[in-house]
Amino acid sequence: MSVKKGLIFGLLFGFLVLGILAMQRATPQHKEERIYKAIKLYSPYTLEKRIGGLTIVDKRTGEKEKPSAAEVLHRLDEVDKAWGKKHLVVKDNDVLVLGDNNQTVVKIFIETETERVFLKSFYGI
């Protein structure tokens, strides 16, 4: 194999590796589907479609945040985590969703140990 062919294959391999790493960095964190969907119903943050991408909307204030398309899912995770630290409490085998005045809105049963691990790693509770 000549040096030119080796250089071309090396560059192609390098770009392939960089592309895979970029895709992994852009992917949001894995979530336990059942418990995340149940908690997400009470989260004040939603995604709204717009021409330029997605907008994060706070239902309480109507405030809109417009991160770049590459950052929108990571930013949604950040605001959900911040909200969860203030409004979620694990008590025995239940997750308590608290309102703004620390009243219990709903209890969600934790079915598996992986859901408990998810709550600890994602929300920090």
pLDDT per residue of the chain (125 residues) written in tens, 0 to 9: 688 888 999 999 999 999 998 888 878 888 999 999 999 999 999 999 988 889 999 999 999 999 988 888 899 999 999 999 999 999 989 999 999 888 999 999 999 999 999 999 999 88
| Per-residue pLDDT tens digits for 82-109 | 999 999 999 989 999 999 888 999 999 9
Cα separation, 107 vs 46, in Å, equals: 21
The domain limits of the chain are 1-29, 31-123
- Answer positive or negative: Cα dihedral of 110, 113, 115, 120: positive
Q: pTM here?
A: 0.80
Q: Is 42 helix (H, G, I), strand (E, B) or coil?
A: coil
